[in-house]
Amino acid sequence: MDGPEDTNAEKLTASERSSAVHRKPRFLVIGAGRRGTAYASAVRRERLSAIIAAVAEPVQSTRISFGKKYVWEDGPPREDQAFESWQHFLDYETNRREAEAAGEKVYAGIDGIIVCTQDHTHKEILQAFGPLKLHVLCEKPISTSLQDCQDIYVSLGANSPERIFSTGHVLRYSPHNMLLRRFLLEDRAIGEIISVEHTEPVGWFHFSHSYVRGNWRKESVAAPSLLCKSCHDIDFILWLLCYRTDFGEPAHMPSLVSSVGNLSLFTKHRKPAAAESATNCFSCPHERNCDWSAKKLYVEKLYDKGERDWPICVVVPDIEDITATLGTDHGRAVLTEVLSADYDASTPRATIESKQWYGRCVWESDNDVLDDQIVTLTWDDDSRAVSGQEFHDRGPKTAVFHMAAFTEAQSKRRGKISGTRGEIQYDSNEIRVYTFDKFRDPEAVKVFTPPKAGGGHGGGDGGLMNSFSQAVEAVINGKLSVEQAQAKYVGCTLKEAFMSHAMVFAAEEARLGRKIVDWRDWWAKLGERLLAQ
């Protein structure tokens, strides 16, 4: 299939449509930015049994560009395919359902939504769509506060959800990480796990773009950087060490959680004296000697070398259309104009805080999220604490996660796992398995290079979209119940997704309180609050 495919292009009555024996799930993408595009492109690239049936996106050029690639091919979109906002779609779908119930001929509805808007909007969207009983794939994090995550968890059905739910914990779905988990849990290649050291190198430029100048720079507007950037790393660790239900065992959760971290560099008192009072790189006397110059990073090192994708398309969303229509020089001029936008003492503070200033001096930004953080999780020995049975993989262990901003690598995770019979080292390219019988077996060191998968996160984006669409397809065609399809294809329950987010908030509580959190007590108290809702 080379282009969008929609076998429900005609208006039909409900009875006419019900005659279909088997159908593909139809999805609405809410937010046609990088994450929405990642999931939609996975449908095309992996030839998934799914249809991107509609898009809701406020930026017209982005909406049309996305729609032509993934929703419709030629000409203008139909009334059911393109919407300026999710609210407009909600109104349309409500009216469509009423007309369908009255026996009128209508276009087919959708089976699920893929939510890829800014993090703080997720709660409003999910709760607004709740009455429609649609399946949900929500980009991570689910929301930006513990209370909002709780509210969403409850509204989606908590322990008895009625629809498939998946979140952007893409690390579970890459071929690399699935092989790593097989080595650890199925093959037990290094025996029982004793410790894990896992690092996410955010990348020096990525951090300055997204967490100093960009959307995720302020905790009050977005959330802690541990949640926004690394909640799927915490989930990855729990996936390896806790959730063994697919092996017939109950979850083995940590007993203690602690965390430390800093905002190390981008604060006003660290500003070079040579930069004087400049607030923008294009008027700064220190610009040519600055590693963080927006002029050098965005214009000279990226745009001038032909880059039009991230992060250029974040600074100027229409950059591809502008360049294609008016030329490269005009596109450069537009990019420069946007980056040169500045403010002064007369500019209202609310105006300054209301937008992203990608040409802003990194030491004059209003960022407050951490650029370096360590989370430590500790497990007790409860190998005989579950129904009197003995489980060999429930012994004491420790996991240390490090989120580091100032790195050469960008999101190319690496780690080391120690076990009772050996050690595994991994990065984004390979997995090295070393066993202690090296002195007897010259082949005791084995290096595995998992096949490269298309798409982002080492194939995790495509893997997640594939699992979600297969689960929804199984449910809408009556092959499996929601619970069965969730377990078979998604491999992560709504409770697990919520628990991974909760672990991040527990770590933040530990960091802010300079204390060690007793996870079991913390989770029990959270459960009490959930029951009280």
Answer yes or no: is 148 within a domain. Answer: yes
CA proximity to 520, closest of 196, 309, 257, 129: 257
Q: Which pLDDT score, from 0 to 100, does residue 209 have?
A: 97
Dihedral angle computed from the Cα positions of residues 488, 493, 497 and 498, in that order, rounded to the nearest 10 degrees: 180
Is residue 20 located within the same domain as residue 151?
Answer: yes
Query: How many CA atoms, within 13 angstroms, populate the side-chain half-sphere of residue 26?
Result: 19
Last residue of a domain, one of 353, 387, 420: 353
Q: Answer left, alpha or beta for residue 205, where phi above 0 means left and psi between -120 and 50 means alpha.
A: alpha
Per-residue pLDDT tens digits of the chain, which is 533 residues long: 344 555 567 888 887 777 666 889 999 999 999 999 999 999 988 888 899 999 999 999 899 999 999 999 888 999 999 999 999 999 999 999 999 999 999 999 999 999 999 999 999 999 999 999 999 999 999 999 999 999 999 999 887 899 999 999 999 999 999 999 999 999 999 999 999 999 999 999 999 999 999 999 999 888 999 999 999 999 999 999 997 655 566 788 999 999 999 999 999 999 999 999 999 999 999 999 999 999 999 999 999 999 999 999 999 988 988 999 999 999 999 999 999 999 998 999 889 888 899 999 999 999 999 999 999 999 998 766 555 566 667 889 999 999 999 999 998 999 999 999 999 999 999 999 999 986 666 677 899 998 877 777 888 899 999 999 999 999 999 999 999 999 999 999 999 999 999 999 999 999 999 999 999 999 999 887 776 55
d(CA 465, CA 479): 19
Examine residue 311 and say whether the peptide bond preceding it is cis (omega within 30 degrees of 0).
yes
> Does 389 map to a domain?
yes
DSSP conformation letters of 13-55: -HHHHTT-S----EEEEE--SHHHHHHHHHHHHTT-S-EEEEE
Work out the angle at residue 65's Cα, subtended by the Cα atoms of residues 60 and 66, and round it to the nearest 5 degrees: 100
Asked whether residue 485 is assigned to any structural domain, the reply reads yes
Domain with residue 92: its CATH number is: 3.40.50.720
Domains in the chain, number: 3
289 & 413 share domain:
no
Q: Is residue 4 in a domain?
A: no
Q: H/E element holding 90?
A: helix 86-101
525 domain residue, yes or no: yes
Give the end-to-end CA distance of the chain in Å, rounded to a whole number.
Answer: 47
pLDDT reported for residue 61: 87
Name residues whose C-beta falls within 8 Å of residue 524's C-beta, 6 or more positions apart in sequence: none
Contact partners, residue 434, CB within 8 Å, separation at least 6 = 190, 422, 423, 424, 425, 444, 445
**Residues 504 and 478 placed together within one structural domain of the fold:** no
pLDDT at 527: 82
Whether 7 is covered by a domain: the verdict is: no
Judgement on whether residues 59 and 124 belong to the same structural domain of the protein: yes
Residue reference for tokens 């937008």: 355
Count of other CB atoms within 10 angstroms of residue 239:
21
Residues 30 and 64 in one domain: yes
The tokens for 452 are 């490269």
Q: Is the peptide bond before 58 cis (omega within 30 degrees of 0)?
A: no
- Do 208 and 232 lie in one domain? The reply is yes
Q: Specify the pLDDT at position 391.
A: 66
Q: Is residue 364 part of a domain?
A: no
Q: Tell me the helices (H) and strands (E) count for the chain, helix number first.
A: 18, 15
- Give yes or no for a contact between 36 and 113, defined as CB atoms under 8 angstroms apart: no
CATH code of 259's domain: 3.30.360.10
Sheet architecture: strand order including 193-201: 445-448, 431-435, 422-426, 414-419, 193-201, 397-404, 372-379, 256-262, 517-518
Q: Could you tell me the residue range of the domain that residue 233 belongs to?
A: 173-266+371-456+494-532
What is the pLDDT, as a whole number, of residue 16? Answer: 74
- Asked whether the CA dihedral 360, 363, 366, 371 is positive or negative, the reply is positive
Q: Is residue 450 part of a domain?
A: yes
Q: Is 262 in the same domain as 237?
A: yes
- Structure token digits, residue 443: 């082949």
Nearest CA to 148 among 505, 474, 532?
A: 505
220 and 295, same domain (yes or no): no
Q: Which residue has the tokens 């990226």?
A: 302
Residue 485 has which token pair? 């399809």
Sign of CA dihedral 226, 228, 230, 231: positive
The answer to whether residues 329 and 417 belong to one domain is no
Alpha-carbon span 124 to 143, nearest angstrom: 10
Residues 181 and 297 both lie in one domain? no
Please give the full DSSP string across 252-303, using - where no structure is assigned. ---SEEEEEEE--S-SGGGS-GGGTT--BGGG-TTGGG-TT-HIIIIIITTG
Interatomic CA distance for residues 86 and 56, integer angstroms: 5
Number of Cβ atoms within 10 Å of the Cβ of 486? 24
* Domain match, 469 and 518 both: no
Question: Does residue 326 share a domain with residue 296?
Answer: yes
Distance CA 225, CA 313 (A): 22
